[in-house]
């Protein structure tokens, strides 16, 4: 069985435009997920503060509910 020669370590790599476009889409989706996760965690921490220390457990529960509902809604409605 013939072996293929190994590519040189310094050989230039030819990335097509399709590969770069796919990379940009993946990176944009990843950044969107990170942003929505940060929003979710911030709302969760604010809600827990109001439940535990703020003396407004109903408002805190509402904020925690928002932390569950808002990020997926933003993800769905922000798609263009």
pLDDT tens-place string over residues 18-75? 688 888 888 998 998 898 889 889 999 999 999 999 899 999 999 999 888 888 888 8
Please check whether residue 29 lies inside any domain of the structure. no
Residue with tokens 């370590």: 9
11: left (phi over 0), alpha (psi -120 to 50) or beta: beta
Q: How far from 32 is each of 21, 53, 74, CA to CA, in Å? A: 17, 31, 10
Q: What is the pLDDT of residue 6?
A: 62
Q: How many domains does the chain have?
A: 1
Q: Domain for residue 62, yes or no?
A: yes
Domain that holds residue 61: 44-80
Domain contains 13:
no
Residue 6 falls inside a structural domain: no
Any domain includes 66: yes
Pair 80, 34: CB distance under 8 Å? no
Please give the pLDDT value at position 60. Answer: 93
Is residue 2 assigned to a domain? no
* Residue 11 in domain: no
Contact between 67 and 43 (Cβ < 8 Å):
yes
Q: Is residue 27 part of a domain?
A: no
Give the global pTM.
0.67
């Amino acid at each position: 069985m013939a072996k293929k020669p190994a590519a040189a370590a310094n050989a230039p790599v030819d990335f097509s435009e399709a590969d770069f476009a796919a990379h940009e889409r993946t990176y944009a989706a990843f950044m969107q997920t990170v942003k929505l996760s940060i929003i979710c965690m911030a709302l969760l921490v604010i809600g827990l503060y109001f439940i535990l220390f703020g003396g407004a457990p109903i408002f805190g529960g509402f904020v925690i509910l928002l932390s569950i509902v808002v990020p997926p809604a933003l993800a769905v409605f922000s798609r263009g």
